[in-house]
A and B are shown apart, each in its own frame.
Chain A
Amino acid sequence: MTVGNESRTLAAGWLSPGMLVAFAVFGTLPLWIEHVGLYRYLGVEILIWCLFALGFNLLLGYTGLPSFGHGAYFGIGAYAMGLTQFHLVADLWIGLLAAMLAAAVVGGGVALFISHRRGIYFALMTIAFGQMFFFIASKWTSVTGGEDGLLNIARLPARLGVVAFDLTGNLAMSYFVFAVFVVATAFLWRLIHSPFGKVLRAIKQNETRMAYLGYRVYVYKWASFTLSCAVAGLAGGLFAMAQNGAYVQVMSLQWSGVVVLMTLIGGGLVSFWGPVVGTVVYFLARDLLGAYTESWLLWFGLMFMLVVMFKPEGLAGLWQEAVARHAAHRRARAGALQPAASE
């Protein structure tokens, strides 16, 4: 079972069956989410974190580099979104672009220091940098608002030429976040099947061999880190819109851990969609388990431990195994019916 599984079975290009399912579910989410007892804002939050987790998985699942400080870049995106509209220009697109760029520039700078490292050293450095940015953000009150956060970030209208969509309602916001999610997902999907994506996964498998094939490994690791920071920044910018503010908590070690949790529990190591599954499970657990008990995170943590102990490939791994078993079963039955027509 590998990350490349879908690539062998599904058509490539810009779309895939998995993508169509995801788009169908998330695209119609605002229409039915209230009928199943949830609320629209939850849909917005889930999609934003799905985007964050998908970008994070480019690094963890595809390049094999664990970052435990990715919340920092999500937070930087959120602050950039607010600061741009307060001090520069109140435009949605420029704000989102600034969120991506700010996270990419800071992440790219960090990556210069860590892209020669691997394994535990890489992980520790990401924590160190993440904590550094967390403390800067919480102490630099004049810029970030410190512990109070950056308040009153507006949901600016989405201007497309002559038309402009008001995003202040959660319904419109849902559709907007969905649109961004579609574009970003299509790009990431394409990227992992490109030569660049192949190289990232090869680095995960065997970094040394890649060097002996003439690949400058650290440049790709740098690019992968920077790209995933850019996606984190974009998600952070959207989160600042959704929350009408940017808060330092998302930059903490704990929230950086949450995105790792989401990615692993869903099965980011074996599937493109793993992080999405994990994010949905996380938020549903928070809201459904959270309705019964304050200590829902304890139960979620236990679930995470069970997954890591018994099925490190996560929920997507379970699914792939079930599909493979079903296919083998069908082949066996077909073989039993027509013994002459083997293979």
Chain B
Amino acid sequence: MALLEARGLHKRFGDHVVLEDISLAFPEGRLSGIMGPNGAGKTTCFNVLTGGVRPDRGSVVLGGEDITGLPPYAIARRGVARSFQLMNVFDEYSALENVLLAAPAVRTRSFNMVHDLRRDTGARDRAATVLARVGLGGKERMPAGRLSYGDRRALEIGLAVAAEPRILFLDEPTSGLGADGTARLAELIQELRRVLTIVIIEHDMAFLFRLADHISVIHWGQVIAEGTPEALRADPWLARSGLGAAV
């Protein structure tokens, strides 16, 4: 049984059907990729899985528990973390403070009105470890708003990692990154995949085909092809559709 499963997801906005009948399974320890052209429903699919959008039909099951339509905070607390395509960090806070907030240990104490977070060396050390892991060692005190684009992207992922998730969703992590940034990101993901179950939505086919164990291709709100990168490369249907052209 997969760690997270989507069964027959259907979603329409007005008379526009975005998800037709999507079933996906993400087994523990696998790096899964989701690809497809713009407007194929990838991000809506992500939003349904992580709680921003409630599906009209179908269900989302995490570790045997039905989490369909739960609000984002409830899904996050069950161990689903996500990064955002558009940069979404706390600009006024330092990199370290950003990561601190994401830590479940801090969240469970978040109604404490007396304790001084700046003196909690345990939590700060763990947060610093996360920053070092995503390549932001030495930038702990830098306000997130002043980090470079690539560093903000890394912090974005750092936030999701600090949440100690069971499954990590990355929404177009390479968007806006140059070749160097993309290479650095690939390294980071290689590092993270050893301990985390990861799902990536990606535009950059080369990037996804190099990293993923398994890829689902979404088009017109449906899963039109699935398999390992090798299998997909050989898929004549996919080759003809032009989706695999970049590979």
Q: B-contacting residues of A (Cβ < 8 Å)?
A: 2-4, 7-8, 12-13, 190-191, 193-199, 201-202, 205-206, 208-217, 220, 223
Contact = CB atoms under 8 A, between A and B. Distances in A.
A213 B100 contact: no
Contacts of B50: 212
A210 B141 CA distance: 20
Contacts of B109: 195
Nearest to B98: A202
B117 A212 contact: no
Interface stretch (B6-14, B87-95, B219-227): B87-95
Interface stretch (B37-45, B69-77, B127-135, B183-191): B69-77
Ranked 5 nearest A-B pairs via Cβ: A214-B76, A2-B92, A214-B77, A211-B72, A205-B90
Contacts, number: 101
A195 B117 contact: yes
A193 B76 CA distance: 25
29 contacts: A12-B116, A190-B113, A193-B116, A193-B117, A193-B118, A194-B112, A194-B116, A195-B106, A195-B109, A195-B110, A195-B111, A195-B112, A195-B115, A195-B117, A196-B113, A198-B100, A201-B92, A206-B88, A208-B88, A209-B159, A211-B76, A212-B50, A213-B76, A213-B81, A214-B73, A214-B76, A214-B107, A215-B73, A215-B110
A312 to B, nearest CB: 15
Contacts of A210: 101
Interface in B102-125: 102, 104, 106-107, 109-119
B143 interface: yes
B104 A190 contact: no
Interface of B: 50-51, 71-73, 76-77, 81-82, 84, 88-94, 97, 100-102, 104, 106-107, 109-119, 141, 143, 159, 163
A211 B82 CA distance: 11
Contacts of B118: 7, 12, 193
Contacts of A196: 110-113
Contacts of B51: 212
Given A196-B111, A196-B112, A214 B106 contact: no
Contacts of A205: 90-93
B177 to A, nearest CB: 20
B55 to A, nearest CB: 18
A201 B72 CA distance: 19
A213 B163 contact: yes
A202 B93 contact: yes
B110 A199 contact: yes
B218 to A, nearest CB: 22
A339 B102 CA distance: 41
A199 to B, nearest CB: 5
Contacts of A215: 73, 107, 110
Centre residue among B50, B76, B92 by max chain A CB count within 10 A: B92
Given A196-B110, A214-B107, 19 more contacts: A4-B92, A8-B94, A190-B114, A191-B113, A193-B117, A194-B114, A195-B117, A198-B117, A205-B92, A209-B84, A209-B88, A210-B101, A211-B73, A212-B50, A212-B81, A213-B159, A213-B163, A216-B73, A217-B73
B115 A209 contact: no
Contacts of A212: 50-51, 72-73, 76, 81-82, 84
A212 B170 CA distance: 13
B93 A4 contact: yes
A235 to B, nearest CB: 19
A194 B73 contact: no
Contact of B119 (A12, A198, A220, A223): A12
Contacts of B94: 8
Nearest to A193: B116
A217 B101 CA distance: 13
A196 B110 CA distance: 5
Contacts of B100: 198
Contacts of A202: 90, 93, 101
B159 A194 contact: no
Contacts of B143: 2
A224 to B, nearest CB: 11
B195 to A, nearest CB: 20
